[in-house]
Amino acid sequence: MRAADIAGDLSEVLYTEERIHARIAELCRAIEADYAARPPLLVGVLKGAVMVMADLARELRLPVEMDWMAVSSYGRGTVSSGVVRIVKDLDVDLHGRHVLIVEDIVDSGLTLNWLRENLASRNPASLEICALLRKPEAAKVEVDVRYVGFDIPNAFVVGYGLDYAERYRNLRDIGILAPHVYA
């Protein structure tokens, strides 16, 4: 669905589908340069990273493998708790692998910080992060994100995999959720 289909639910469209795809292509050129000699294992975090993973993996002109983790940050709210639980672990052994975590958004950074430490303890040959969105003003911990799509304001956004109470993941664009939706 497109922003026009739910226009009243968004206070602003931040990035159209076209803009997102163009930025992902740029990120892919950088990733290709860095990983030419060592094909990466892309690790996606369900469910939010599904869209960015699908588009990033197909845009990359490199052989890649994909694996998935599901972690839960509790609740339906719009603020991250930082309490993380593994709901589904990876199938692949990370030992000696060049791991690139693919994430939708870095908000407080708590989830990614936890994930990075968890995956680092499994002895990958290298470990980097690619996140489509980052909210610099919301950072509670500094996470070293090697590939960032867009730095965005500290607002709650939906679309392109990102949800509010499981809605809006199938929106092609990314927009700021209007406060009346969650008030």
- Can you give the binding site for ligand IMP, defined by CB under 6 A? 48, 73, 80, 82, 104-112, 156-158, 162
* Shortest spacing between CB 162 and ligand IMP, in angstroms: 4
Residue closer to ligand IMP by CB (options 35, 169) is 169
CB contact at 8 A, 93 and 122: yes
Which strands sit side by side in the sheet containing 126-134, from one edge to the other?
A: 84-88, 65-73, 41-46, 98-106, 126-134, 147-151
CB contact at 8 A, 168 and 159: yes
Q: Give the residue nearest to ligand IMP (CB).
A: 80
* Shortest spacing between CB 13 and ligand IMP, in angstroms: 14
* Catalytically annotated residue among 9, 55, 104, 107: 107
State yes or no: is 173 an active-site residue.
no
* Shortest spacing between CB 3 and ligand IMP, in angstroms: 15
CB contact at 8 A, 126 and 99: yes
Q: Would you please indicate which residues are annotated as catalytic (active-site) residues?
A: 107
